[in-house]
Amino acid sequence: METLKVIKIGGNIIDDEAALDAFLSEFSKIKSPKLLVHGGGKLATQLSKQMNVEVKMVDGRRVTDQDTLDIITMVYAGKINKQIVAKLQSKQCNALGFTGADGNSIVSDKRPVKTIDYGFVGDVKHVNPAVLNLLLENGITPVFCAITHDEKGQLLNTNADTIASELAIGLASFYQTELYYCFEKNGVLQDINDDNSVIEHINTTAYEKLVEDGIISDGMLPKLNNCFHAIQKNVKKVCIGKPEMLFDASSKFTTITAD
């Protein structure tokens, strides 16, 4: 099976025009089939302020009321997604922008209200890989923003890390999928204050020990749970680190595999 790279970039790249441009130049040179997932960065919060829409966060997650959903749809699916698509086209990468509603590619359930009502937030139910596979087979690069839908006409704000892992899982029947999470650190660090203390390889056994020892905690826990979820569902490997991990053979980053 051919290899498909599913690559997720976050706000640290999106909010920095030069970094984004440099990343997209390298990304466009990747020869194997590829798929990009982008987060939202600071633009949605900026626009909310300009429009006097209150930004509500609970446990680091955005509460998405109707106004916030409109803003997110405008910023993620509109401005950011289309600017990335146009830039990739200028770099000879034939990109095509997606939300989960497009081609019915990612179906979510609106998160049930327990103690907190997150509003229009979606938990991914399933991926329909047919349209994506059709495009990938024809040299097209899908570019996803972090929005899905419920098949009943409702758009839903959805975690970009989850979208990336679910896409890698959903396409694993057509491709040997590799998942790359680009973020601001060099990977999982032995010492959180030393960016050179990268743990280069983590398997399931090592992971359990790292959690037990408190090396992996806080923000990294949900990220790594996402990674191992993908590994358990036939994704071949997951890499976490700075974007250089994709292009620079000498860079250090964390690779996660089943064993």
Active site members: 8, 11, 41, 161, 223
Among 78, 126, 190, 222, binds its own copies (CB under 8 A): 78
Residue 211 binds to its own copies (criterion: CB under 8 A): no
CB of 160 to its own copies, least distance (A): 16
Nearer to its own copies, 30 or 131 (CB): 131
CB of 159 to its own copies, least distance (A): 18
For residue 137 the two structure tokens come to 């087979």
Among 135, 167, 199, 220, binds its own copies (CB under 8 A): 135
Contacts of 140 (CB under 8 A, 6+ apart): 94, 95, 96
Nearer to its own copies, 159 or 226 (CB): 159
Residue 34 binds to its own copies (criterion: CB under 8 A): no
Which candidate, 163, 178, 156, places its Cα nearest to that of 127? Answer: 163
Nearer to its own copies, 90 or 232 (CB): 90
Among 79, 110, 233, 252, binds its own copies (CB under 8 A): 79
CB atoms near residue 120 (< 10 Å):
22
Residue 96 binds to its own copies (criterion: CB under 8 A): yes
Residue 25 binds to its own copies (criterion: CB under 8 A): no
Residue 103 binds to its own copies (criterion: CB under 8 A): yes
In whole angstroms, what is the distance from residue 31 CA to residue 21 CA? 18
Among 7, 13, 20, 75, binds its own copies (CB under 8 A): 75
H/E run at residue 97: strand 95-98
In whole angstroms, what is the distance from residue 149 CA to residue 179 CA? 23
> How much is the CA Rg of the chain, to the nearest whole Å?
18
In whole angstroms, what is the distance from residue 206 CA to residue 60 CA? 28
In whole angstroms, what is the distance from residue 94 CA to residue 30 CA? 12
In whole angstroms, what is the distance from residue 61 CA to residue 119 CA? 11
Residue 134 binds to its own copies (criterion: CB under 8 A): yes
Residue 157 binds to its own copies (criterion: CB under 8 A): no
Q: What are 240's strand-pairing partners?
A: 181, 254
Give the footprint of its own copies on this chain (CB under 8 A): 50-51, 70, 73-79, 81-83, 85-87, 89-90, 94-99, 101-104, 130-131, 134-135, 138, 140, 147, 149, 151-155
